[in-house]
Amino acid sequence: AQPVFRDPLDTPAQPSALAAGSRLIAVAPAGTGAVAVGPRGHILYAEAGGQQWTQAQVPVGSDLVAVHFPTAQRGWAVGHDGVVLHSRDGGRHWHKQLDGRQAAQRMLAFYEAEVAARGRTGTASASEPAAEAESEADAALERALSEARHFAEDGPVHPFLDVWFENERQGFIVGAFGLIFRTEDGGESWTPWFHRVDNPMSLHLYGVRGGGPGQPVYAVGERGLILRLDRDAGRFVAVSGDYEGTYFGVLPGAAATLVFGMRGNAYRSTDDGRSWHKVDTGTRAGLPAGAALGAGRVALVSQGGELLLSTDHGASFVRQAGERARPGALAGIAALGEHGIAVVGEHGVGAETLQ
């Protein structure tokens, strides 16, 4: 008999005694503990210290690739099939807020309504600059509507690749082919921001992060794309960098912002993204994730299994010895308490104390 296909969006994640030692893709602090996510809907949570990891109840079996907790209890995880999950209890239980089917339909309905509304109001403006701005806005909406139609036709095949929340109500999710949504109500509703981003080629967006309250918010992606949120204009504006390869992540901070990606490349800005300077990371391996650890310390992990530590806000890095707690090629890192870190990778999750 032919095996019956079970859609991961309709199939809860299966419990596995081996989950903590199997491949995991991302990890985030949650209060004094941490939460890790990975393939087949696997989510694990740990208390302070990170020695004991417990598998959570998850309603989907889709691969999960990013997780963020703006508070100790409330967090979000995203991944393949356009899935967005939410937890209200520190990562122990999860429910689905959005999937690729719903995301495509919401995107299509939103842009159909926006384009129709613009058509009714017309664009007759008093001044030439205003008319030009109107024309650009119309073009952005038309392009977004065209993309929305493609997404609706494709079905739920496009992943969300990162999630970041400023607080427990306001956040962004970003993904493949320029996917980006904003929520103002803790994920109860999601508004497409496709028309609010300087990304005309619909490049993949791999990372989105902000610093502390009021600090800049950045999104990064392929072909050296760095975007900075202009809060007044309500849009992500492209800032020029010196690198044309893919960025996997960004760490904004009060002293400096760090972007990092393929082949050990990392760049640093101390002037809110106006200029970027190459950082010597000491590795040629890809850098999929980083974490700000406080007191000027920044850590990056590499696909070669390296842990790179900076004590000067990302200006320089030193490779850390000791591989015991590090599970092979690394994919994610999170601060764990005051002096600890949790790392995830091809062989699961590990925790260690930094000297």
Residue 132, classified by CB atoms within 10 Å of its CB into exposed (0-12), middle (13-18) or buried (19+), is exposed
Structural domain contains residue 329: no
CATH number for the domain harbouring residue 237: 2.130.10.10
> Contact at 8 Å (CB) between 30 and 72?
yes
**137-185 pLDDT tens trace:** 899 999 999 999 999 998 888 999 999 999 999 999 999 999 999 999 9
**27-81 pLDDT tens trace:** 999 999 999 999 999 999 998 888 899 999 999 999 999 999 999 999 999 999 9
Structural domain contains residue 112: no
Structural domain contains residue 331: no
Q: How many helices (H) and strands (E) does the chain have?
A: 2, 27
Name the domain count of the chain: 1
**244-291 pLDDT tens trace:** 999 999 999 889 999 999 999 999 999 999 999 999 999 999 999 999
Structural domain contains residue 348: no
**181-198 pLDDT tens trace:** 999 999 999 999 999 999
Token pair belonging to 155? 């079905």
Structural domain contains residue 40: yes
Structural domain contains residue 246: yes
Among 173, 179, 117, 171, smallest CA distance to 144 is for 179
Residue 238, classified by CB atoms within 10 Å of its CB into exposed (0-12), middle (13-18) or buried (19+), is middle
Token pair belonging to 56? 């959570």
Among 314, 311, 324, 316, smallest CA distance to 350 is for 324
Structural domain contains residue 327: no
Q: Is the dihedral of CA 196, 231, 168, 48 positive or negative?
A: positive
Residue 237 pLDDT exceeds 60: yes
Structural domain contains residue 116: no
Among 182, 252, 250, 247, smallest CA distance to 216 is for 252
Domain that holds residue 278: 8-99+156-285
Instruction: Give the integer Cα–Cα distance in Å for 263 and 342.
Output: 23
